[in-house]
Amino acid sequence: MNIKDVIRSYRVVPVVVFNSIDEVRPKLQAMLGGGLPIAEITYRTACAGEAIRIAVSEFKDLYVGAGTVINAEQAEQAVGYGAKFIVSPGFSTAVAAVCRAAGVPYLGGCATPTEIMTAIDSGCDVIKFFPATVYGGLPAMKALAAAFPQITFLPTGGISDKNLAEYLAWDKIFAVGGSWMMKGTPEEIKTKCAQALAIAKSVK
């Protein structure tokens, strides 16, 4: 099963921010304990690259991706450390080129028709829609989907357990990304991940 099929099967992508390496193992263990084996580790902090390296090398049951990737250098580093997918807040043709050369899926951020056309030209069929609620949420994506039926969406930003089911009920949602389940103690993270997964499974 390829990584896109894995993400589509779980339908929830935890967005993980590590402020120190000490957080990596307990948070990832908690996430796995909650039944979610996918981690989008973001390049928002200085330790992101090392966190990806540790996650890939020590957590063999985890599908590790890199998020908030904004340039080719970060993409190359993440892929070099073993990241299985790359996510960006916006769309970068340079990052898309790195991913295409490495055979790694790129989920670049798009919020306008022009950006979606750029993504399609770069060979992408799944786009990140961020920040989802700020840019109009489901109504905006449904309007865009009318023009681009070949595209599915990974909305992130403003989504939580409160509206997760509503998003997942639409068939053009590839999966939903969010950080809400990764906040708190390891035990809280485990519980929130299990709850998110349960909601995802409940939506037909």
Question: Where in the sequence numbering do the catalytic residues fall?
Answer: 40, 128
The 3-state DSSP class for residue 124 equals coil
**Spatial distance between the Cα atoms of 194 and 39, rounded to a whole number of angstroms:** 14
Which tokens sit at 120? 């399609």
Closest C-alpha among 76, 86, 160 to residue 128: 86
**By CB neighbour count within 10 A (0-12 exposed, 13-18 middle, 19+ buried), where does 192 fall?**
buried
- Using only the alpha carbons of the chain, give its radius of gyration: 16
